[in-house]
Amino acid sequence: TRRRPTVSLLDYGAGNVRSVRNAILACGYRVIDVVDPSDVTNAEVLIFPGVGSYRSAMEVLRDGRGYDVALGEYLRSDRPYLGICLGMQTLFDYSEEGIDIDDDGGCGGGPPLPGLGIIPGGVVRFDEDGGRRSVPHIGWNGIVPRMVSPAMRHVVSSSSSSGARRRNDDDETKEEEEGGGAGGGRKKEGGGEVYFVHSYYAPITTDNVDWVLTSTTYEGREYISSVQRGNVVATQFHPEKSGKVGLDFLRGFLEASSGSVEDGTLSNTSPIPVVDDDDVGSRTTRLVKRVVVALDVRTNDDGDLVVTKGDQYDVREKGGEVDDDTGDGDGGGGCGGRRGGVRNLGKPVRLAKRYYDEGADEVAFLNITSYRSGVVDDMPMLRVLEESSKSIFVPLTVGGGIRSYTDPESGASYTALEVASRYFRAGADKVSIGSDAVYAAEEYVRSGGKRTGLSSIETISRVYGVQAVVISIDPRRVYVSSPDDASCARWGHVVVSLSDVNGPIGPDGETYCWYQCTVKGGREARPICAVTLARAAESLGAGEIMLNCIDMDGRCDGYDIALMNAVSSAVNVPVIASSGAGNEGHFVEVFERTGVRAALAAGMFHRGEVEICSVKRRMEERGIPARMV
Ligand code: 1PR
Q: What is the CATH number of the domain that holds 25?
A: 3.40.50.880
- Residue of 316, 323, 366, 544 to mutate, ligand 1, most atoms within 8 A of C-beta: 366
Residue 460 and residue 420 in contact, taking contact as beta carbons nearer than 8 Å = yes
Catalytic pick among 27, 68, 85, 560: 85
The pTM (predicted TM-score) of the whole model is 0.88
The CATH number that applies at residue 540 is 3.20.20.70
Residue 416 and residue 402 in contact, taking contact as beta carbons nearer than 8 Å = yes
Per-residue pLDDT, 110: 66
Q: Is the pLDDT of residue 164 over 90?
A: no
Statement to judge: residues 234 and 314 lie in one domain: no
Confidence of residue 168 (pLDDT cuts 50, 70, 90): very low
Q: How far is the CA of 594 from the centre of ligand 1 (A)?
A: 21
Q: What residues make up the domain containing 299?
A: 290-621
Q: Indicate whether 2 belongs to any domain.
A: no
**Boundary (domain end) residue, out of 281, 303, 336:** 281
Confidence of residue 264 (pLDDT cuts 50, 70, 90): low
Statement to judge: residues 356 and 243 lie in one domain: no
Confidence of residue 439 (pLDDT cuts 50, 70, 90): very high
* Cα distances (angstroms) measured from residue 85 to each of 10, 53, 91, 236, 405: 13, 10, 10, 4, 32
- Report how many domains make up the chain: 2
Statement to judge: residues 270 and 294 lie in one domain: no
Statement to judge: residues 32 and 137 lie in one domain: yes
Catalytic pick among 198, 238, 586, 606: 238
Confidence of residue 337 (pLDDT cuts 50, 70, 90): very low
| Nearest residue by C-alpha to atom 2 in ligand 1 | 434
Q: Indicate whether 42 belongs to any domain.
A: yes
Q: Is the pLDDT of residue 126 over 50?
A: yes
Per-residue pLDDT, 142: 94
Under DSSP, the state recorded for 199 is: S
**212-216, 317-321, 398-402: segment of lowest average pLDDT:** 317-321
Statement to judge: residues 295 and 386 lie in one domain: yes
Statement to judge: residues 205 and 152 lie in one domain: yes
Report how far residue 552's alpha carbon sits from residue 29's, in angstroms, rounded to the nearest whole number. Answer: 46
Statement to judge: residues 198 and 319 lie in one domain: no
Share of the chain above pLDDT 70, in %: 80
Q: Which ipTM value was assigned to this complex? A: 0.98
Q: Indicate whether 112 belongs to any domain.
A: yes
Q: What is the mean pLDDT of the chain?
A: 84
Q: Indicate whether 404 belongs to any domain.
A: yes
Statement to judge: residues 268 and 337 lie in one domain: no
Statement to judge: residues 301 and 172 lie in one domain: no
Q: Is the pLDDT of residue 520 over 90?
A: yes
240 is an active site residue? yes
**Boundary (domain end) residue, out of 281, 298, 330:** 281
Burial 387-405 (b: 16+ CB within 10 A, else e): bbbbebbbbbbbbbbbbbb
Q: Indicate whether 506 belongs to any domain.
A: yes
Confidence of residue 167 (pLDDT cuts 50, 70, 90): very low
**Boundary (domain end) residue, out of 281, 313, 335:** 281
Statement to judge: residues 416 and 482 lie in one domain: yes
| Nearest residue by C-alpha to atom 4 in ligand 1 | 400
More confident residue, 322 or 409: 409
418 is an active site residue? no
488 is an active site residue? no
**40-54, 121-135, 432-446, 486-500: segment of lowest average pLDDT:** 121-135
Statement to judge: residues 270 and 369 lie in one domain: no
Confidence of residue 462 (pLDDT cuts 50, 70, 90): confident
**181-185, 366-370, 602-606: segment of lowest average pLDDT:** 181-185
Closest C-alpha to 554, from 513, 507, 503: 503
Q: How far is the CA of 288 from the centre of ligand 1 (A)?
A: 25
Beta bridge partners of 366: 296, 399
